[in-house]
Amino acid sequence: MTFPVLSRSVEDYLKAVYSLNERGKAAGTNELARALEIQPASVSGMIRRLAEDGLLQHEPYRGVRLTRQGHREALKVLRRHRIIEAFLVQRLGYPWDDVHEEAERLEHAASDTLIDRMADALGNPTTDPHGAPIPTRSGRIDHPPGRSLDEVPPGTRVLVRSVPDGNRERLRYCKSVGLVPGARVTVADVDADGDCVAVAIGAGTDPVWIEGTVAQRVTVSESPRP
């Protein structure tokens, strides 16, 4: 069954629900309003509409989650977004902190054919420039086993898999300290409130403090000893 073409705002809602669910967070009216930077009052109406269209379903006490159809549509938007980012970096020489806004716009306009050809031209990459997994054209997404940086106990050496892509300043900061996909870092310390993490990036370097809001969204996996 083909689904009617979804509007830009519908796609943004589905992506926002996906991203909250993915991080194990409730997708309630307030969380969605914050993620989409709009008023909670306008979120309620849209949630109702998307539920009627079979894209979302209500989850008691946890807001909404995607139906199978909603999940499929969200992955299509994510695929377009991440392929576009990869293409801009690899083929057009964009810096990695400069591609998210372009991808936010183009993801709603590019056809699946264009995206598949861009993916072919890149050799079908499995991750975007920020390390996020790219859904396949058949709609599968592989999340390698891992956890967020803020959950790692001090003394543990880990491999950085992905960093959050939404904020330019944050990406520049990550790059300036070497917190990039593929980097091997050792968690040196976690502050008393548990919301900042000190990591040593590279051998013999002084630890740098990473804000909790960033650490929560950096995914890492176990790193074998060198």
Q: What are phi and psi of 199, to 5 degrees?
A: -125, 140
Q: Shortest approach of Zn ion to residue 82 CB, angstroms?
A: 7
Q: Which two tokens stand for residue 198?
A: 């000190």
Judged by CB under 5 A, does residue 11 bind Zn ion?
no
Judged by CB under 5 A, does residue 100 bind Zn ion?
yes
> Which x/- pattern, by CB under 5 A, does the window 117-156 give for Zn ion?
----------------------------------------
Interface segment toward Zn ion; rule CB under 5 A; list 25-33, 66-74, 92-100, 117-125:
92-100
Enclosing H/E stretch for 116: helix 112-121
**Beta strand 184-190 pairing with 147-148:** unpaired
Q: Which is nearer to Zn ion, 32 or 103 (CB)?
A: 103
Interface segment toward Zn ion; rule CB under 5 A; list 17-25, 30-38, 86-94, 95-103:
95-103
Q: How far is residue 12's CA from residue 178's CA, in Å, rounded to a whole number?
A: 30
Can you tell me which of 97, 107, 165, 220 binds Zn ion, judged by CB under 5 A? 165
Judged by CB under 5 A, does residue 170 bind Zn ion?
no
Q: How far is residue 142's CA from residue 12's CA, in Å, rounded to a whole number?
A: 21
- Give the dihedral sign, CA 62/67/72/74: negative
Residues that bind Zn ion (CB under 5 A): 100, 103, 165
